[in-house]
C-alpha cells in the first residue's frame, strides 16, 4: 500500500502538477492509503508475533514426531482380518 501511495502521488504530479498533488481531495486519499498501509503493517506484525514458534509445515512436523515416537511391535497381523490403524 505504501508504494501504491507513492505511485498515486507520482501520477497526480505528472498529470496535474504540484497543485493537483496538493489538492485536498488528493491529500485525503493519500492519508487514507497511508493509514491503511499502517493498519496492514500492524496486522502483519500481530500475525507474525502469534505464529513465531509454530513450524512452517505442521504435517511434516507431526510426521517427524510420530517417526521418533514409533515403537516396533514384533506381533504378526492375522492374514484373514484387516489391519488396525
Residue-wise pLDDT for 36-59, tens only, equals 999 999 999 999 999 888 777 778
Is 82 within the bounds of a domain?
A: no
- The whole-number pLDDT of residue 79 equals 77
Is 20 within the bounds of a domain?
A: yes
Q: Kindly report, residue by residue over 59-73, the tens digit of the pLDDT.
A: 888 888 888 988 887
- The whole-number pLDDT of residue 55 equals 73
Query: Above pLDDT 70, what percent of the chain?
Result: 94
For 58, the domain range is 2-68
Is 85 within the bounds of a domain?
A: no
Total domains in the chain come to 1
Cell (9 digits) for 10:
507520482
* Per-residue pLDDT band at 84 (split at 50, 70, 90): low
Name the nearest CA neighbour of 31 among 8, 54, 51, 53: 8
Amino acid at each position: 500500500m505504501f508504494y501504491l501511495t507513492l505511485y498515486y502521488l507520482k501520477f497526480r504530479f505528472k498529470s496535474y502538477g504540484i497543485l493537483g498533488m496538493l489538492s485536498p481531495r488528493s491529500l485525503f486519499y493519500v492519508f487514507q492509503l497511508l493509514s491503511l498501509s499502517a493498519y496492514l503493517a500492524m496486522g502483519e506484525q500481530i500475525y507474525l508475533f502469534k505464529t513465531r514458534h509454530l513450524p512452517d509445515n505442521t504435517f511434516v512436523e507431526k510426521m517427524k514426531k510420530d517417526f521418533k515416537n514409533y515403537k516396533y511391535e514384533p506381533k504378526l497381523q492375522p492374514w484373514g482380518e484387516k489391519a488396525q490403524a
